[in-house]
A and B are shown apart, each in its own frame.
Chain A
Amino acid sequence: MSRIGEHPILEYTKGKRVSFTFDGKVIQGYEGESIASALHAAGIRKLHESEVKRRPRGLFCAIGNCSSCLCRVDGRENVRICIEPLREGMRVESQNSKAVLRPADPAGSIRQEETIQTDVLVIGGGPAGLNAAIESASHGLKVVMLDRNSLLGGQLNKQTHKFFGSEKAKAGTRGFVIAQELEEKLAGYGSVDVQKETTALGYFKDGTVMAESKGRVCSYRAKATIIATGASERTLIFPGNDLPGIYGAGAVQTLMNIDGIMPGQTAVMVGGGNIGLIVSYQLLQAGVAVAAVVEAAPHFGGYQVHANKLRRAGVPILTGHTVKYAFGGDSLEGVVITALDEHFNPVPGTEQTIKADILCMAVGLSPMTEMFFQAGCDMKFIPQLGGYVPRIDEYHRTSVPGLYAAGDAGGVEEATSAQLTGRIAALCAARDLGAADDFDREFADLQSQLSELRAGPLGQKILSGLDRMKDEGGVSYGKF
C-alpha cells in the first residue's frame, strides 16, 4: 500500500509531515489526516484483534460509524482512529483487550458546562446539514451546527465525480468542491457556530441535545433541531466478512479521494448500484485493478453510463452472483464468489476464487436514526427509504414538536436531494419560528426542484417510499 502519486483529477493538499508510533514502530504521516489513513499508507491494515476470538480487525466505514478501528491513542482507549486526526508524536497502540480503567485525581470533578441556547441546532454537517445551516442563517436565525468529524461535507468529500441532477443544486460540480463551497458560504454568516469533532449523543424530551466534544460533555437547547446525521453503510453476512481489507465503499473513497492512499492492489466490488459502479471507476482512476463487480440481482441498478465506462476498461459486471466467503490471514487474500439462481440460492459448482486484497461493499445504506428513535419520534419501516425512518410531514417535521429530519437520515436518497431537503427542513423550521417572510415562494421553488430531481429513473423508488409514508399518515407532496 502506498500513496497515490498521480491522479487524473485530484490533487491532495497535505498537512506537514509528522511522525508517530504504532505499537512502538515509528511511522510517518501527514498532520490532520486520520490515524487510520496514515497507518494504511504505511501498509498496516490489521489494527487490532477481537477480544474473544482474536480475529484481525481493520478499517470498515472510515466515518466513525462502526467501531471496527478502535485503538489506544496516547493512553486513551477506544478511540475511533478513522476520524481521529493525526498529530505529531502520537502514540498509537492496537487494543486487543478491554480498556483498563485509569485512576483519576480524587480532588478533581466533572466539568459541568452550561447548556448553550440557540435558535436552530443542526446535527450533522453533510450536504443536508450544511444547507440547513445556511438556510437558517439566511433567515437571521442563530445557528449551531455539530459534526463529529474534523472535516465538514459528510459523504460529499469522497465524491470526485461530477453530479447529475438539477442545475441549481450544483449539477456538474464535483462532490468535494460542493462541500468546500458550502463551507465557505456558511463561514460568511456571522451567526453560525460550527462545532467540529462533536458528536451528538442524545435528544432529551425537554429539547436538550447532549454531545461529546473532544472528551467533554456539552449540551445545547434550540427552538428547532434539525437532524441530518446521514446514513451508515450496510454489509453482508458471509464467513470471513470481518477481515481487514473488506471495506464499505465510503471508506475506499475516503482513502483514495480524501487522503490519496491506495487502498490495495486488486479489488472486488459487491453491489452494482450507482455507488458500486462509481467507486469501481474511481478505483481504476487511482490505479487499483478491479477484478469484478458482483451483483446478486439479475440486473445492475446503476446508470448505464457508469457501467459502460467499466466495461470499456475490461471490468466484468457479474450479475446473479454473490460472495460465498472471504479468506486471508491478517488481512484479505481473496474471495470465493458463486452464481445465484432465480430464488437467490447459490448454484453448486459455480464457485470461482478471485485473488484480491480489497473487497468493497456497496450494498446500500441505512439511515442513522438513533436520535429519532431516542427522541420518541413515530418511526416507520419503509424499505424504499432504507429501513426505519421518522414519519415526517411535507415540512419535514417529525412527530416530535421542534424536531426536523433532513437528508439521508430521513430516508436514503442522494446528495442533491440531501441539499434540497436540508434547505426545506430549515425553511420550514424558520417559518415555525416566525422568521420566514417569503415562505410560500421559496418553499414552492425548493419543492419543484425536488420534484424535478425525483422525476428521473432513480426517483421512482423514493416516490413510492414517500407514497407509503403518506399512507402511514406522513408526508404529502405534490405539484406546487
Chain B
Amino acid sequence: MKADAVVIGGGIIGCAAAYYLARSGLRPALIERRGIGEETSCACDGFIMLQTKKPGLPLRMAMSSARIYERLSQELGYDIQYRRPGGLVLIETQEMKEIMEGVVDRQTKEGMDVEFIGNAKLKSLEPLVSEKIPAAVYSPMDGDVSPIYTTRALAKRAAELGCEICTGSAVTGIRVQDGEVRAVVTDKETIETGTVINCAGVWAPEIGEMMGIHIPIRPRRGHILVSEAVAPALRHEITDARYIAIKHDPSILEKATDPTFRQGISLSMEQTENGNFLIGSAREFAGFDTDCRFDILKGISEYSTRFFPALRNVNMIRSFVGMRPYCEDGVPIIGPVSRVHGAFIAAGHEGDGIALAPITGRTVAEMVLGRETEFDMTSFSFDRFLK
C-alpha cells in the first residue's frame, strides 16, 4: 500500500490529524493497533475547558479549538454532543484563592471572560454546591463534548474523505533512508510513504524509538468514578483550584498535608447527557498500570462530597482509569522532527487532548502541507528537547 501520509494512533489526536489531512485533499492512512478511540480517548472526561489551560500558547490554542468545536458536529455530519454550559473552578481555601488570583489575572490578559464569584452567586448557578465553599471562578466560555463520539466521528469523516483506516494493525517499524521517511511497517504490511505523524499518545516514545529518537512522554494516570444516571442536577463543568494547581505544578503535592491532596486528588465533575456523573480525578505517575485503586476511589468520593454533599445520595456504578500522555515540561509536542525528514509528532496532550484535538489536527495538517500555521508553534516543537 501507498499513502500520502501515515498517521500512527487512532485516538482523538490521530483521528483529528487524519481528518484535516484528508480534508486538505491528501490520501492518508491511519494505523491503530486496537480500535478507534479505545485507549485514553475513551477513558477521560469531555471538558472543553478554557479555564484550566496555562495562559500562553495552550490557552490560545484551546480558544481556537473551542471555536472549531462550535461547528464541528455540523462539519462532521454527526452529533458529537458539544455544549457550552460554562464552567466553574471551585475554591475551598485561602491558599487556593491566591493561586487562582494569579491565574485569572493572566487569563484576563489573554482575552478570556472569567470572574470571581462568592457563595451566593455560586449557589444560584449550582444549587447543589455546599454552603461551605466560599468562592469560585466562573467562565461562560467552558463547554464539553462526548470524547468517544468526537473521536469516532472524526475517523468516520476522514474515511469518507478518502483516508484508509487500518484498525487492529500495530506499527512495528519505520523505514528511514538518508534521513528521510520511506515507509511505515506494520504487523500486516508495509506502507510506502514520505510522511509519518506519531499520534500514539502515551506510546509515542515507542514509535520514537523506531526512528532512533527519544520522546519524553509518560503516562500520568487518572481515576474517574461513574454514578448511576439521575435527572439533570449539575449545570456546569466543574473543577476546583487544586485541579489547576496540581496540573500546572506536580511538585505542589510534595508539600501538601491533606491526605487526598498528597494522593494527587482534585475535583473534576460533569453530568453526561444520559445523567451519569463523571467524578474525578487524580494525577499520578504509575507507569502503564491501568488498575483502579480503592484508596484513590475512596479519596475521590470523600473529596468530591466536600463540594457536593448530595453525592452521598447517589450510587456509584463504575470506575475507570486512563493514562494521560504527560510530556516532561507539561505541554504537548506538535511539530516536525528535524533529524528525520517527513516525521512529525502530535502527542503529549496530558489532560487537554480532547479540548486541543481539532486545533492540533489542523495545525499538523498545515505543517505537513508546508502551509503557515495559525500560531507560532516554537514552544511546542520537538526541538525544544534537543538543546
Binding site for B on A (CB under 8 A): 77-78, 97-106, 108-110, 112, 202, 204-206, 208, 210, 217, 219, 376
Contact = CB atoms under 8 A, between A and B. Distances in A.
Contact of B230 (A100, A105, A206, A208): A100
B294 A206 contact: yes
A106 B293 contact: no
Most buried by A among B128, B131, B294, B305: B294
B309 A105 contact: yes
Contacts of B310: 101-104
Interface stretch (B73-81, B241-249, B311-319): B311-319
Contact of A104 (B228, B293, B297, B309): B309
Contacts of B298: 112, 217
A78 B315 contact: yes
B131 A98 contact: no
A376 B309 contact: no
Contacts of A103: 128, 309-310
Contact of B128 (A78, A101, A108, A217): A101
B291 A101 contact: no
B231 A108 contact: no
Nearest to B297: A210
A204 B228 contact: no
A219 B294 contact: yes
B231 A101 contact: yes
Contacts of A78: 228, 315
Task: Say whether chain A's binding surface is mostly helix, strand, loop, or mixed.
Answer: loop
A108 B302 CA distance: 11
Contacts of A101: 128, 230-231, 233, 310, 313-314
A210 B297 CA distance: 11
Contacts of B315: 78
A201 B128 CA distance: 27
Contacts of A219: 294
10 contacts: A78-B228, A97-B231, A100-B231, A101-B231, A105-B309, A109-B302, A202-B294, A202-B319, A208-B294, A376-B291
B313 A106 contact: no
A210 B313 contact: no
B275 interface: yes
The 5 closest A-B pairs by CB, nearest first: A104-B309, A106-B130, A98-B231, A205-B291, A101-B233
A206 to B, nearest CB: 7
B185 interface: no
Contacts of A202: 292, 294, 319
B229 interface: yes
Contacts of A376: 291
Given A204-B291, A210-B294, A99 B230 contact: yes
B109 interface: no
Nearest to A376: B291
A378 to B, nearest CB: 15
A112 B294 CA distance: 12
B190 interface: no
B130 to A, nearest CB: 4
Contacts of B292: 202, 204
B132 interface: yes
A104 B231 contact: no
Contacts of B291: 204-205, 376
Most buried by B among A99, A204, A205: A99
Interface string B284-326: 0000000111100110011001100111111100010000000
